[in-house]
Structures are given as structure tokens and as C-alpha cells.
Amino acid sequence: MVNTYPDVGIQSRMNRIISPKDNRVVMLAIDHPYFQGPTTGLRNMSNTIRTLMPYCDCLMTTRGAVRANIAPGDLGSKPVMLRVSGGNSVLFDELSDERITVGIREAVRMDAAGVAVSVFVGSANQQRTILNLTDTINQAEDYGIPVLAVTAVGKDMARDLRYLALASRICQDAGARIVKTYFCEEFSRLVDSVAPTAVVVAGGKYSSPPDALKMAFDSVEAGAVGVDFGRNIFQDENPVGMIKAIGAIVHGNHTVKEAMDIYQECLPRASKLE
């Protein structure tokens, strides 16, 4: 029998991740402990999740973080982009040496909206990590689960258009439904080179509210469907103000100045996350 709706599961989950109303998403990246341990802002993970979850569209996190910090009743209120690659730590220089750490059956059991795999193009473990991605896509698509590919950048790689477009295109060709990458000069050329695959932008190390908001603004203006920021939200002194301001840019097309006004309005009630 011919399956006339072969992608219905994928599409349904994609709609949970990226709003079909405006084709945009504010994803909150809180998966860092999988290799960084209890990093600043994520030491008290349940408080961070409780504080920020209402303002994001999707949580990018790990199996253990969900299990330990999200009550079953709250799970499902926001879609989870489940990180399924890892196996290393900041105590080892070569972070690219990753394997698949969570199986697709577990992702189904957890009702993950999508699964995320890092790919380290140009690293010592390039082939392994690309095959981590393709193997995951082969299995996840069978269950209607979209795969987000993270273009992880080794310390020797330049975060320029040439490198990031190469890495992003490899992820698209592998079959990723969403590519997460870093912002760079001429970013619209990267977005064009993987169109129509959705692109979300990682925030990188903590910078400053105006700089991070400008990156969010420039990313969506260049055609990204949104951001998947972590440290620039949960390490800011005003994390709720920051995520609200990002939401105003991504979903409300606010300018950086308007978003900074939203940030400032929240500042008097702000408290830093542990």
C-alpha cells in the first residue's frame, strides 16, 4: 500500500518546533552540561528551566536534564529538541570524538519533537560525526522525527562563511531538517546555500545584550528561522529580559533598540541564574 502521507510525523513535529504562523523559533539551548558539566547559569537547572521555559518555543536539552528537572506534567508544554550525540568533556582536548548517546526509541518514548547531533567538519573525527548524523537521520526519519544538525566548530576552524557554509551544506545533504550554525559575515549567502532547509543560529560565548540582540536581528534578517541561544541568555544578569527581547526580534520583528527597551524594562526585577 502506498503511504500517501510519508512525512506527516516530520511535518507535525517541525510545526511544534518552528511556528507555522511566522516560520520562526526561539530555541533555548541548555544542553551544555553534556560536555561542560555544571556551567554558570545551569548549576540549578530546574530553576533555569522554570524561569526561562515560558518564554521560549522549544528547549534544546539532554535526556538527563529532562528526567531530572521537568515534571511529567510540565513535559509537553514545550517541545524538546533532544541532544543525542556526546561522549566527551572539556577535560579532553579533542571534543569532536563523539558518538550517538541516545537511541531513537528513547527519543520516541520521551516524545522528543526533534533530535540534535553535532558534526565536526574538518576535525580529526569528521567522518565519525558525519556518520553519527546520517545514521541518526536514517533511523529518526523512520519514526517521523526531524534531525537538527549542529555545525560544531573546532578551535582551529575559522567561523567564516566559507567554512560554515561548507559544514551547513554537508548537514543539509545528509538530510538534516534544521541546521544550527554560527553567525558570520554575509550570512544570507549561507542561508541561501542551504535553502529551503531551516537555519537557526547559535549564540556562542556570552557577549553583551546589545551584541547578542544584534546577532539575533541580523540572523533573522538574513533569513534564519530563529536562534538557538544559550549562554547569552542564561548567563546574562537579566535572563528573562534577554529572552523576551530575543522573542520580540524573532517573532515581532522588533529593532535592536526596541528589544533593548524590553530588556531594560525587565532589569529592575532581574536576578542572575546560578
In the complex, least distance from residue 73 CB atom to ligand R5P, rounded to whole angstroms: 26
- Stretch near ligand R5P under the rule CB under 6 A, chosen from 192-200, 214-222, 230-238, 240-248: 230-238
In this structure, what C-alpha cell is assigned to residue 196? Answer: 529551503
59 binds ligand R5P (CB under 6 A): no
Pick one of 26, 202, 213, 215: the residue that binds ligand R5P (CB under 6 A).
Answer: 202
Based on the shown chain and the rule CB under 6 A, indicate whether residue 209 belongs to the binding site for ligand R5P.
no
Query: Of the candidates 41, 114, 146, 203, which one interacts with ligand R5P according to CB under 6 A?
Result: 203
Is residue 241 at the binding interface for ligand R5P, with CB under 6 A as the rule? Answer: no
From first CA to last CA, the distance across the chain in angstroms is 55
Residue with cell 512525512: 7
Write each residue from 144 to 173 as x if it is in contact with ligand R5P (CB under 6 A), else as -, in one continuous string.
------x-x---------------------
Catalytic residue check, 244: no
Q: Does 63 bind ligand R5P (CB under 6 A)?
A: no
Residue 140 vs 212, nearer CB to ligand R5P:
212
CB 175 within 8 A of CB 206: no
Q: Cβ contacts of residue 46 below 8 Å, gap of 6+?
A: 68, 69, 70
Q: In angstroms, rounded to a whole number, what is the distance separating the alpha carbons of residues 221 and 184?
A: 13
Residues 6+ away with beta carbon under 8 Å from 75: 66, 110, 111
